[in-house]
Amino acid sequence: MQTAVGASVELIARHQHTGGAYPASPTYPVYGYCWLRDGSFIAEAMSRAGRTESADAFHGWCARVITARAGHVAELVEAARRGEEIDPRRMLPTRYTLDGGDGDEPWWDYQLDGYGTWLWALVEHARRHDVDLAPYRDAVETTVDYLATFGADACYDWWEEHAEHRHVSTLGSVAAGLAAVLSTDLLADRKAAEEMLARLRELIAGPGTVDGSLVKWLGSSAVDGSLLACLTPFGLVTPEIAEGTYQRVRTELRRTGVYRYLGDTFYGGGEWLILTAWLGWYEARTGRTELARERLAWVAAQATAEGWLPEQVSGDTQDPAYIAEWTAKWGPVATPLLWSHALHIILALELDS
């Protein structure tokens, strides 16, 4: 394994909580929590790197967190079946404290993508390392009940914005999780999951696709970097739609690195390492090896002297006036971001495979 990749693996391992959770960033003031989305991709990187004990610990932590809330999920599902309007503040959190608590800081908290991503990552890890999924059955069934009920609803997106919309990357994350679980024998009752999966696929292929490309949310014509996950690794769209989405991201959102979306102002709207690696991941899967290696080299070059990879870099931001505002609020850009290290690992291993 390349030295830099090995360093990313060790950095993630060093900061993993004893209970299995991965903090988004160990140094950034509001990222000392575990997001299921970030954590699932971090676990995927560790699983691919052969650090099965790390991935096992994370998936066990997720299962405990979700099982502890099974009664609450059942209440939400029953309320939905009765046709009640549910306050989004009652929904499951987006992020948890490292010991599995809800936390008491306000956040943009109703996001569905992490729960679908966890199901996908769990099944991928189990297949890769022949892990017995039976101990996860209760947590998986609770998660599926939640997603089969609410999986097509509006909520905050990957970037914790625009709760009023149905975001295609979120629909894709939920669809990927349900499809992964339905490929196993974990579910005693598959009907609700199958129906929701079919509905999500219709939404993604219908209003989620405009002029041959996935779009940011239903009713939008814009593109978003998070849509790359629907291509690789989720594989939810035809090769033609995948290529159309890739070309839009590459043309509209790439400078050297990749922006989240046009108009982003978070720290000025800089170039994100995870998305640049994600672009390379798709390129590696589609035979564009040299381009993928360029993405990997760029990501690695953003490391600090300590070898830490940041969330984004500000050398070519969309609106530099916002850098000072966010720095004054929360300090410099989150560094290290464990998700950046995870995508660095994934792309490097993809290219070496």
The catalytic residue positions are 157, 160, 311
What Rg, from alpha-carbon coordinates, does the chain have? 19
Q: Please classify residue 150 by burial: count the beta carbons closer than 10 Å to its beta carbon, then call 0-12 exposed, 13-18 middle and 19+ buried.
A: buried
- With contact defined as beta carbons under 8 Å apart, do 38 and 71 qualify? no
Taking CA atoms, 151 is separated from 77, 97, 131, 173, 268, in Å, by 12, 24, 27, 9, 32
Give the whole-angstrom CA distance, residue 45 versus residue 43.
Answer: 5
3-class DSSP assignment, residue 211: coil
Q: Cis before residue 26, ω within 30 degrees of 0?
A: no
- The C-alpha atoms of residue 215 and residue 131 are separated, in whole angstroms, by 36
Q: What is the rounded distance in angstroms from the CA atom of residue 54 to the CA atom of residue 43?
A: 7
